[in-house]
Copies of this chain bind each other. A is one copy, B any other.
Amino acid sequence: MAIPRAAKTQRRTRIQEEKEEIILEAALDVFSVHGFKGATIDQIAEVAGMSKPNLLYYFRTKEAMHRALIDRVLDTWLDPLREFDAEGNPEAEIKSYIRRKLEMARDFPRESRLFANEILRGAPSIMEELDDLRKLVDEKVEVIRAWVKAGKIGRCDPYHLIFSIWATTQHYADFDVQVRAVLGPTRSGDGRFEDAARFLEQLYINGLQIRP
């Protein structure tokens, strides 16, 4: 009789788990293409294969759906950077970072575009999370500075090094349409990620004057 909104109940039922998963999956489809304002609950409901009020039973507002998605994505999005290890040698670390970021662009392009849409809008809903990001980056910047001091890599600005790796790898998810259009149908196969990986590894290994 009472209306304990799914989101409020402490214990979550099997159905809640399943349906919320389906909804977030559909929401990711729609938000990642149309952005927050451009997406409509009706669209998401259609993709999810359920009625609009049913969606709103699990997530009280459109904002709540978006929020839940962003929170989930942001966390996994930074994993590759967290693994960036001071103990490892620069060549292996940077190569594997590039690889992992490229794999994410290939395997989770919607997540990348969701994030890109959010930043493009001015990131109104993730300012706090950006603060966490800053701290993590600052940490890794020190790792890179240590490498520079030890003479393991050439002098460079660690911040812009990180930015450039983000940019080059996410480009293949966010600007996928453009990449495909430029490469043409023959070069647009899955091989483009392997080609990108080879190019970027070479660029950074030589560019940072890393001595093996």
Interface of A toward B, CB cutoff 8 Å: 33-38, 113, 116-117, 119-123, 127, 130-131, 133-134, 137, 154, 156-157, 159-164, 166-168, 170-172, 174-175, 177-179, 181-184, 187, 195-196, 198-200, 202-209
Contacts and interface: CB of A to CB of B under 8 A. Distances in A.
Contacts of A127: 181
Main secondary structure of the interface of A (DSSP, over half): helix
B181 A131 contact: yes
A137 B182 CA distance: 7
Given A134-B182, A163-B168, A120 B174 contact: yes
Choose among A113, A162, A168, A205 the residue with the greatest number of B CB atoms under 10 Å from its CB: A168
Nearest to A37: B38
B178 A171 contact: no
5 contacts: A33-B122, A38-B121, A160-B199, A164-B203, A205-B207
Contacts of A119: 174-175, 177-178
Q: Which 4 A-B pairs have the closest CB atoms?
A: A207-B207, A37-B38, A167-B171, A130-B181
A118 B184 CA distance: 19
Nearest to A38: B37
A203 to B, nearest CB: 4
A186 to B, nearest CB: 12
Given A38-B38, A167-B167, A168-B163, A199 B33 contact: no
Contact of A177 (B122, B154, B163, B170): B122
A159 B182 contact: yes
Contacts of A206: 154, 206-209
B35 A34 contact: yes
B131 A120 contact: no
Given A161-B199, A171-B167, A195-B157, A178 B130 contact: yes
